[in-house]
Chains A and B, each alone.
Chain A
Amino acid sequence: MLVKLSINGEKHEADVEPRLLLVHMIREVLRLTGTHIGCDTTHCGACTILMDGRPVKSCTVFAVQAQGKELMTVEGLEQNGKLHPLQEGFMAEHGLQCGYCTPGMLMTSYAFLKKHPSPTEDDIRWAISGNLCRCTGYVNIVKAVQHAAAKIAGGA
């Protein structure tokens, strides 16, 4: 089936099997490998991307369901050579170690901060509870999201 979609502002089309998972299309057809795969059951969130602004776990979406949609992946966060405040926050607060869950964490947090620009710590913890991290113990991820929220509020 022919799928036409836009990803990080670029239009793409590809002829894919109807059963192809969106994450495989992104990683293997479009070669954007920042989106990762960590489980088969929609639990780990490493594959989280935005579909029309909503975070989805792309291992549980078929590529054909993305027909006509606007997708955004971790590769789309940096704009004109300028990092997104979340990317800066993750570096500044040591919010990542192995880096494998990081793209999913960034995309979940990106969608979350759009809706909740001044969250409490509890809000953040619930927001990222669909994304597993085995390295950081989450403390610094929470700080990274707070860092970004403050920066965005300050007009970054």
Chain B
Amino acid sequence: MALRTSPEVGGMGHSLKRKEDPRFIRGKGTYVDDVQLPGMLYLDIVRSPYAHAKIKKIDSTKALAVPGVLAVITGEDLAKYNLHWMPTLMSDTQMVLPVEKVMYQAQEVAAVLATSRYAAADGAAAVTVDYEPLPVVVDPKKALEPGAPVLRTDKKDKKDNHIWHWEWGDKSATDRAFADAAVTVKEDIYLPRIHVASIETCGCIANFDKIDGKLTVWMTTQAPHAIRTVFALVAGHVGLAEHKIRIISPDIGGGFGGKVPVYPGYVIAVAASVLTGKPVKWIEDRMENLQADSFARDYHITAELAAKQDGTLTALRIKTIADHGYADAAANPSKFPAGLFHVCTGSYDLKSAHVEVDGVYTNKPPGGIAYRCSFRVTEAVHTIERMVDLMAHQLGVDPADFRMKNFVKPEQFPYKSALGWEYDSGNYAGALRKAMDTIGYADLRREQVEKRKRGQLMGIGISSFTEIVGAGPSKHFDILGIKMFDSCEIRVHPTGKAIARFGTKSQGQGHETTYAQILAEELGIPANDIQVEEGDTDTAPYGLGTYASRSTPVAGAAAAVAARKVRDKARKIAAYLLEVAEDDLVWEPGKFSVKGAPGKSKTIQDIAFAAYTNHPQGMEAGLEAVSYYDPPNLTYPFGSYICVVDIDSGTGEVKVRRFVAIDDCGNIINPMIVQGQVHGGLTMGLAPALFEEISYDEIGNIRGGSFIDYLVPTAVETPKWETGHTVTPSPHHPLGAKGVGESATVGAPAAIANAVVDALWHLGVRHVDIPITPAKVWKLLREKGVKD
């Protein structure tokens, strides 16, 4: 895209340095735990050592004797206000604090309120709880067997652990295609539980002012407005009305989906502040964060892919068991309990597909949120990319050639997928070709042949993913009934500077910079003259927040639309000032000129001043606009990644030697920020591919519940990413942009897994579940008779 603004204005396409950095590099950001209010109390939480147990007695005597401890709050206390249960974002219910039993290890059992952080922790350690252990259900498949203990005994009519069944697509056409297929492949793919592990954990400060009845909550949330409404709906009966609730989401130390839900700690802190009239701080520690906050994935997938003899793909069939823990606390749009998993036909022109997903309760923490991904898209991409690779290998065709043959072609867009999505734009072959050229694909294949002769294990893996982001059109997308639009409000000041506020909330993505650049592009006001604010529900327009790569597709579009409204009014004022008809004016970023008389012009700054000092009679003063943007469709970013791995046959260690990522997110607003998002996304793709997993033993003890055994990659394990892009604009987005924050996390794991299987295919290995740990590979190699 050609640049339309100067570097001084800094519109689209400029790698503007970030406006948020000056405070962060000085340690002057304000994160939730940095807020300290006079008279603040601290909350600490007592957690269950058992995965399933009846609570016989909670004895607070010793805790209350600890100096500084003011109260021990239990489920019984909250039950008096009917606040011991709360709704999840998927209209299920979860406990705030239990009255009868606990359902997972590390579940909140009671909360201790004290005058200091340390006293609260001492108090929590001194609470004695008498438990009676109950049978534990960890495996979701066993949870569905007849005779399995029914976990949700709180639901009167519940006779099993099945939450919901959901299916999509044409079953009979798909079954027919499989019956007619010349070749089929089938694989069980497990995508384990993982955790976003943002470096800042979750927490809040609730401050209830008893005099004016107003609750202010500083909170680690990606969706402050939605949280305000949820609080008003959940606590309306105890007197909290929405105009008396203010949610402030200050600087956020990474979100990735983990800061979308409402956790019990937030609710307890609010309750404690309302009861005491004092500010109450709750900050979870890392172990609480990993052990109790919403997890991602935990999908047990069985996938089948069908093709003709010539390698033309025809159909996809998937059955999945979704382990949701003891409550479905996913953060999906209401209509889609399995999120957007049915984008699973991916980048390929499949004629039919059918997907079934069954949600199941187990004795694990609730959730099913994203891990830097738009509602189960990684699950979809991993499945189709593994299956396509499997089919290519099965047919003895190079996986790159096989993809090229089966891609949706550029001329097929807008493309209606077999599962009903309308892909906006794409050039899949273009991205793959660029990735192959960048990495030197043919040479790598030759090297692999040579190495294999010498017994060395080298693999090349491809992932040509299609994402689906920017939820979403309001006719299909809502969270708890609230439509998934987003918003921008712009006010241009008399001196030509501006403030813009948004319904989203950056957690590191650089919105203050990116949004300012969109407005600079549309209005010609320098980006540095535009202040961007988000995250305060008292000032920002209503919006659904930042997750699922929706900020640029939705709020970014709102910024463009609002700016164009401002421009429309500016045109009227310019016409008045220049004494010409509106139609006689031409716009270039920053000024209106009279057609054929370029010297006769008014800058946006001139016009802004006139809007307050010399506006036409009959026109309202001021220069401002607001847009609540409802996107007509989702956007479909895509890319092709190629990864080269070397495997140590002695230790089983997989080393990523090279990784080339070609992304296409449509028109790019800030190339530097986009590249940074891809770097980070790739690292969060590497992490679950090779290192991260949260698993449970047979009695529900968590494994991976601290940074000792939950292995977030360091700079040493992380390869030097090689990035590039192609540009295929979205036809329906006002700026042609698509969103990029999550592409790499979605696309990368499959490239790595495919590379590992590619390295081991000749030994008879057909699939390896992620994380592909040295232990897993070592065992496989020994099974296949490979000597150290």
**Cβ contact within 8 Å between A91 and B716:** no
**Cβ contact within 8 Å between A98 and B715:** no
Tell me, in angstroms, the Cα distance from A33 to B253 when the chains sit together: 14
- Asked if A34 is an interface residue, CB under 8 A from chain B, the answer is yes
- Asked if B458 is an interface residue, CB under 8 A from chain A, the answer is no
Rounded to whole Å, the gap between the CB of A10 and the closest CB of chain B is 15
CB-nearest residue of chain A relative to B35? A33
**Cβ contact within 8 Å between B254 and A140:** no
Among B196, B251, B286, the residue within 8 A (CB) of A99 is B251
**Cβ contact within 8 Å between B118 and A17:** yes
Chain A residues near B675: list those with CB within 8 A. Answer: 94
**Cβ contact within 8 Å between A102 and B24:** yes
Tell me, in angstroms, the Cα distance from A136 to B683 when the chains sit together: 8
**Cβ contact within 8 Å between B508 and A94:** no
- Asked if A19 is an interface residue, CB under 8 A from chain B, the answer is yes
- Interface membership of chain A positions 2-42, coded 1 if the CB is closer than 8 angstroms to chain B and 0 otherwise: 00000000000000010110001001100111111111110
**Cβ contact within 8 Å between B118 and A19:** yes
Rounded to whole Å, the gap between the CB of A76 and the closest CB of chain B is 9
**Cβ contact within 8 Å between B718 and A137:** yes
Tell me, in angstroms, the Cα distance from A131 to B675 when the chains sit together: 21
- Asked if A61 is an interface residue, CB under 8 A from chain B, the answer is no
Chain A residues near B25: list those with CB within 8 A. Answer: 74, 83, 87, 90-91, 96, 99, 102, 106
**Cβ contact within 8 Å between A100 and B31:** yes
- Asked if A78 is an interface residue, CB under 8 A from chain B, the answer is yes
Chain B residues near A91: list those with CB within 8 A. Answer: 17-18, 21-22, 25
CB-nearest residue of chain A relative to B710? A43
- Interface membership of chain B positions 674-692, coded 1 if the CB is closer than 8 angstroms to chain A and 0 otherwise: 0110011111100000000
**Within A107-152, which residues are at the interface with B (CB < 8 Å)?**
121, 124-126, 128-142
Tell me, in angstroms, the Cα distance from A131 to B707 when the chains sit together: 12
Tell me, in angstroms, the Cα distance from A142 to B708 when the chains sit together: 24
**Within A49-86, which residues are at the interface with B (CB < 8 Å)?**
73-75, 77-78, 83
Q: Which of A24, A34, A100, A101 has the most chain B CB atoms inside 10 A of its CB?
A: A100
Q: Contacts A35-B27, A44-B199: A94 and B18 contacting too (C-beta < 8 A)?
A: yes
Chain B residues near A41: list those with CB within 8 A. Answer: 286, 706-708
Chain B residues near A28: list those with CB within 8 A. Answer: 36, 117
Rounded to whole Å, the gap between the CB of B13 and the closest CB of chain A is 16
- Asked if B252 is an interface residue, CB under 8 A from chain A, the answer is yes
Among A40, A97, A126, the residue within 8 A (CB) of B509 is A97
- Asked if B507 is an interface residue, CB under 8 A from chain A, the answer is yes
**Cβ contact within 8 Å between B682 and A137:** yes
Chain B residues near A130: list those with CB within 8 A. Answer: 714
CB-nearest residue of chain A relative to B200? A100
Tell me, in angstroms, the Cα distance from A32 to B29 when the chains sit together: 11
**Cβ contact within 8 Å between B714 and A99:** no
Q: Contacts A99-B251, A100-B199: A137 and B24 contacting too (C-beta < 8 A)?
A: no
Number of contacts between A and B (CB, 8 Å)? Answer: 176
CB-nearest residue of chain A relative to B675? A94
Q: How large is the interface on A (under 10, 10 to 19, 20 to 34, 35 or more residues)?
A: 35 or more
Q: Contacts A40-B287, A41-B706, A137-B683: A98 and B200 contacting too (C-beta < 8 A)?
A: yes
**Cβ contact within 8 Å between B715 and A128:** yes
**Cβ contact within 8 Å between B199 and A134:** yes
Q: Contacts A34-B26, A125-B716: A97 and B708 contacting too (C-beta < 8 A)?
A: no
**Cβ contact within 8 Å between A135 and B680:** yes
**Is chain B's interface secondary structure helix, strand, loop, or mixed overall?**
loop
CB-nearest residue of chain A relative to B197? A134
Chain A residues near B20: list those with CB within 8 A. Answer: 99
Tell me, in angstroms, the Cα distance from A151 to B245 when the chains sit together: 49
Rounded to whole Å, the gap between the CB of A134 and the closest CB of chain B is 5
**Cβ contact within 8 Å between A137 and B721:** yes
- Asked if B468 is an interface residue, CB under 8 A from chain A, the answer is no
Tell me, in angstroms, the Cα distance from A91 to B16 when the chains sit together: 11
Chain A residues near B673: list those with CB within 8 A. Answer: 94
Q: Which of A90, A132, A137 has the most chain B CB atoms inside 10 A of its CB?
A: A137
Chain B residues near A17: list those with CB within 8 A. Answer: 118
**Cβ contact within 8 Å between B26 and A78:** yes
Q: Contacts A134-B198, A135-B508: A92 and B676 contacting too (C-beta < 8 A)?
A: no
- Interface membership of chain B positions 284-296, coded 1 if the CB is closer than 8 angstroms to chain A and 0 otherwise: 0111000000000
Rounded to whole Å, the gap between the CB of B522 and the closest CB of chain A is 24
Chain A residues near B507: list those with CB within 8 A. Answer: 98
Tell me, in angstroms, the Cα distance from A17 to B510 when the chains sit together: 40
Tell me, in angstroms, the Cα distance from A83 to B200 when the chains sit together: 25
Chain B residues near A128: list those with CB within 8 A. Answer: 714-715
Tell me, in angstroms, the Cα distance from A17 to B287 when the chains sit together: 24
Among B34, B199, B679, B716, the residue within 8 A (CB) of A101 is B199
Tell me, in angstroms, the Cα distance from A133 to B684 when the chains sit together: 10
Q: Contacts A134-B198, A139-B721: A40 and B682 contacting too (C-beta < 8 A)?
A: no
Chain B residues near A33: list those with CB within 8 A. Answer: 27, 30-31, 33-34
**Cβ contact within 8 Å between A132 and B714:** yes
Rounded to whole Å, the gap between the CB of B417 and the closest CB of chain A is 31
**Cβ contact within 8 Å between A99 and B24:** yes
Chain A residues near B21: list those with CB within 8 A. Answer: 90-91, 96, 99
CB-nearest residue of chain B relative to A101? B199
Tell me, in angstroms, the Cα distance from A106 to B682 when the chains sit together: 23
CB-nearest residue of chain B relative to A76? B27
Q: Contacts A38-B286, A125-B716: A99 and B29 contacting too (C-beta < 8 A)?
A: yes
**Cβ contact within 8 Å between B26 and A129:** no
**Cβ contact within 8 Å between A98 and B286:** no
**Cβ contact within 8 Å between A129 and B716:** yes
Chain A residues near B718: list those with CB within 8 A. Answer: 125, 137-139
Q: Which of A33, A35, A74, A128 has the most chain B CB atoms inside 10 A of its CB?
A: A33
**Cβ contact within 8 Å between B510 and A97:** yes
Chain A residues near B679: list those with CB within 8 A. Answer: 136-140
Chain B residues near A92: list those with CB within 8 A. Answer: 17
CB-nearest residue of chain B relative to A122? B716
CB-nearest residue of chain B relative to A28? B36
**Cβ contact within 8 Å between A141 and B509:** no
**Cβ contact within 8 Å between A100 and B716:** no
Q: Contacts A40-B287, A41-B706, A103-B27: A126 and B716 contacting too (C-beta < 8 A)?
A: yes
**Cβ contact within 8 Å between A36 and B253:** yes
Q: CB within 8 Å of A: which residues of B?
A: 17-18, 20-31, 33-34, 36, 117-118, 196-201, 251-254, 256, 285-287, 507-510, 672-673, 675-676, 679-684, 706-708, 712, 714-716, 718, 720-721
Write 22 A-B pairs (CB below 8 A) sorted by A numbering. Answer: A17-B118, A27-B34, A32-B27, A33-B30, A35-B27, A37-B33, A41-B708, A43-B708, A43-B712, A74-B25, A74-B27, A87-B25, A94-B675, A96-B21, A98-B199, A98-B253, A99-B21, A100-B198, A100-B199, A129-B714, A131-B714, A138-B679
What 9 pairs across the A-B complex have the smallest Cβ distances? A34-B27, A98-B508, A100-B253, A99-B24, A137-B679, A74-B27, A97-B508, A43-B707, A137-B683
Known contacts A41-B286, A138-B714; 12 additional CB pairs below 8 A are A33-B31, A34-B29, A36-B33, A38-B201, A44-B199, A44-B712, A90-B25, A96-B24, A97-B510, A137-B681, A137-B682, A138-B679
